[in-house]
Amino acid sequence: MFGLNKRDAGLLLVVAGLALFAPFLLNPFPTDSAMAQFNAGYPDLMQRFVIFGVFAVGFNLLFGLTGYLSFGHAAFLGIGSYSAVWMFKLLGYNILPGMILSVVVSAVFALMIGYISLRRSGIYFSILTLAFAQMLFAIAYSDLIGRFFGTPITNGETGLQVYTSDPQFFHSENLPDIPHIFGQKMQSTYTLDVGAWSFDFNFGYYFCALILIAAFYLAIRIFRSPFGLMLRAVKSNQQRMNYTGLNTRPYTLAVFVISGMYAGLAGGLMASMDPLAGAERMQWTASGEVVLMTILGGAGTLIGPILGAGFIKYFENIFAKINDNVLHSWFSFMPDGLENLMVALVHPFVGKGWHLTLGLLFMLVVIFLPGGLVEGGQRIAQRLRGKKAAEKATDTSKTPAE
């Protein structure tokens, strides 16, 4: 199917299914139940799941295939966002020009940063990319270029946003004053109520989901292509590559640019969902986040980065919401002293402490499942299959006796 073998086509269908049915899958609990706070099926969060999915899938093309660990990928995310918002300001709220420009501009930046950084490998490459990203962050945060030209370019701390005084050449009265695509608003949401459940279908989310599916499909094709094979060869043995008549530099630069374009696309999507671009999107913590997502999900695997992105974003948004009041209501069935003790014990791990839980989980995964969540899934599948196979074996041994 689409030039994919059976397994890859299956994987694509799984991702497509997860993305398209996310409004149901993420809202398993009735709206008024105590568990409703674990529901993640609201448009804002679902958009973030898939946007970071795109980001992580692109990052994995670089890190998973070639082993080059970029620690400055958030720079491209921010550049994508700024580019998109600039298109909103100049042309209007139709997101297509913004999306295109965000990919193009981030590709240009990736070409420049990659050209220099890829002269080194290993930790030196990571440090170079980190340095470039922090430089760009500092430039954006202080709006250095804007001050030089006398007009805001990144608008510093405030962040770049659209004002009514902006030109917006293609804007007309009958078009909405928020991001849209040919008049269809990104914000528009249809809510389906089924009994106690309620599901939100958001246009912006589905737009992002389609882009994720397309981005994932392209990533599979790259993984299975001769180009992808060369990238894995780069990771495995550069010496042999050089002595096999292959120039590693253009291969790594090409994938660095592709990966930067994925990040730019994700940044453009972010701005399309919420027409704001701030410098904090480019900070090193954001670069670190995508590294965590990829490793947690399984670097070098196809679906891992998407799982990792979903996992981390879920934690960030859901665990962070659990405060002491919620904890008290959970443990209210216990005697008072015990209730307070339990709340005190759980408290450091939830709410603002969600980073602690995530950190512990990350450690556990890296130590026990170096292949990430994907390896965990494979092990479970193997166990189950092993059991089934064992049962079958006993079955067949029984049959001849009867």
Contacts 24+ apart (CB under 8 A), 205-211: 205/22, 205/23, 205/43, 205/46, 205/47, 205/50, 206/20, 207/181, 207/272, 208/47, 208/50, 208/51, 208/54, 208/269, 208/273, 209/19, 209/20, 209/22, 209/50, 211/50, 211/54, 211/265, 211/269
Which H or E run contains 181? strand 180-181
Which member of 138, 229, 380, 390 binds another protein (CB under 8 A)?
229
Q: Is the dihedral of CA 376, 377, 380, 386 positive or negative?
A: negative
Question: Within positions 257 to 316, which residues make up the interface with another protein, using CB under 8 A?
Answer: 258
Smallest gap from residue 4 Cβ to another protein (A): 9
- Is 3 one of the binding residues for another protein (CB under 8 A)? yes
CB 160 within 8 A of CB 82: yes
Write down the least CB distance from residue 125 to another protein, Å: 19
Q: Are 293 and 53 in contact (CB under 8 A)?
A: no
Alpha carbon of 156 to those of 161, 167, 279, 311: distances in Å?
11, 21, 7, 31
Among the listed residues 246, 320, 326, 369, the single contact to another protein using CB under 8 A:
246
User: Is residue 62 part of the contact set for another protein (CB under 8 A)?
Assistant: no
User: Is residue 28 within 8 Å of residue 318, measured between CB atoms?
Assistant: no
Q: Is 165 in the site for another protein (CB under 8 A)?
A: no
Per CB under 8 A, the segment of 186-194, 241-249, 264-272, 353-361 that binds another protein is: 241-249
Is position 247 an interface residue for another protein (rule: CB under 8 A)? yes
Whole-angstrom CA distances from 190 to 178, 206, 210 are 17, 12, 18
Which one of residues 26, 75, 209, 233 is an interface residue with another protein (CB under 8 A)? Answer: 233
Mark 175-214 with x for binding to another protein (rule: CB under 8 A) and - for no binding. ----------------------------------------
Asked if 239 interacts with another protein (CB under 8 A), we say yes
The structure tokens listed for 304 are 């891992």
Contact status: 120 vs another protein (CB under 8 A): no
Which span sits near another protein by CB under 8 A: 84-92, 215-223, 275-283, 348-356?
215-223
Site stretch for another protein (CB under 8 A), options 93-101, 218-226, 279-287, 377-385 = 218-226
Tell me the two tokens of residue 210: 């389609």
Beta strands 197-202 and 189-194, pairing class: antiparallel
**Comparison of 241 and 320: residue with beta carbon closer to another protein:** 241
235 binds another protein (CB under 8 A): yes
Q: What minimum distance in Å lies between the beta carbon of 402 and another protein? A: 39
Which regions of 294-402 does DSSP assign to beta strands (E)?
A: none
| Residue 318 binds to another protein (criterion: CB under 8 A) | no
Q: Is 174 in the site for another protein (CB under 8 A)?
A: no
Summarize as ranges the residues that interact with another protein (CB under 8 A). Answer: 3, 5, 218, 221-222, 224-230, 232-233, 235-237, 239-247, 250-251, 254, 258
